[in-house]
Structure 1
Amino acid sequence: MTARHSRRERTGAEQHDAAYEEARAALLLGQMVYDRRTELGLTQGELADRAGMTQPQLSRLESGGATPTVPLLTRLAAALDAELDITFKPHHGVAA
């Protein structure tokens, strides 16, 4: 296995930071879904039906308590009449 693909143990601080970033991303995604849903005047139940999921699943996603798969994100984008745009952007100050 190459060094790039090897796993190393994380320190407690690194684990905390990683968990914080994952929770932050989930909350931001949930807020985006909520904002677009309310902009369209849809209830959670209506959007859930459009996206092929249940209302409780959508509620968890909007509250940041769930991490959706890419296929679910694709269905949500279609249900929200929106374009799904997933990109990788380099961190500021990192040379390519």
Structure 2
Amino acid sequence: MELSDLRTADEVRAERLEADVQFRVEWDKTAFAREVGVAVVKYRTEHGLSQRDLAGLTGLHQPAIARLESGGEAPALATLAKLTRATGLTFRVDIANGGAVLVAV
């Protein structure tokens, strides 16, 4: 098998989303958490911070930063508030129709 024969992660995910209802439900359920995770990783890397550095800056523990970055669970509003206070990040949340999504700012 050639490397060019391998499917991309996006292709595999698209197939799973189409074929697997439980996967699609979980994917949709964790969308908000993933978006927060991406924002935290982006901020941390752009500022040359380790997870431990960001934890010290925000008053959170390093494992909490790791959980945020993993995007597996939606963070509490208090956690988002600590992040915004310490980093200047802005989160706008739209809660409707049984879901929560970050709104671009």
* TM-score of the aligned structures, taking structure 2 as reference length: 0.59
Partners of 1:60 and 1:35 lie apart in 2 by 15
Contact 1:27/1:64 (8 A) holds in 2: yes
- Higher normalized helix content (fraction of residues): 2
Structure 2 CA distance for partners of 1:57 and 1:88, relative to 1, 3 Å: closer
Contact 1:29/1:62 (8 A) holds in 2: yes
Contact 1:37/1:80 (8 A) holds in 2: no
Of 17, 26, 37, 1:19 maps to 26
Contact 2:37/2:69 (8 A) holds in 1: yes
Report what 1:84 is aligned to: 91
Amino-acid identity (%): 32
- Runs of 5+ unmatched residues, structure 2: 1-19, 98-105
Partners of 1:89 and 1:24 lie apart in 2 by 14
* TM-score of the aligned structures, taking structure 1 as reference length: 0.64
| Number of matched pairs | 78
Report what 1:43 is aligned to: 50
- Runs of 5+ unmatched residues, structure 1: 1-12, 91-96
Contact 2:30/2:74 (8 A) holds in 1: no
Report what 1:66 is aligned to: 73
- Higher normalized strand content (fraction of residues): 2
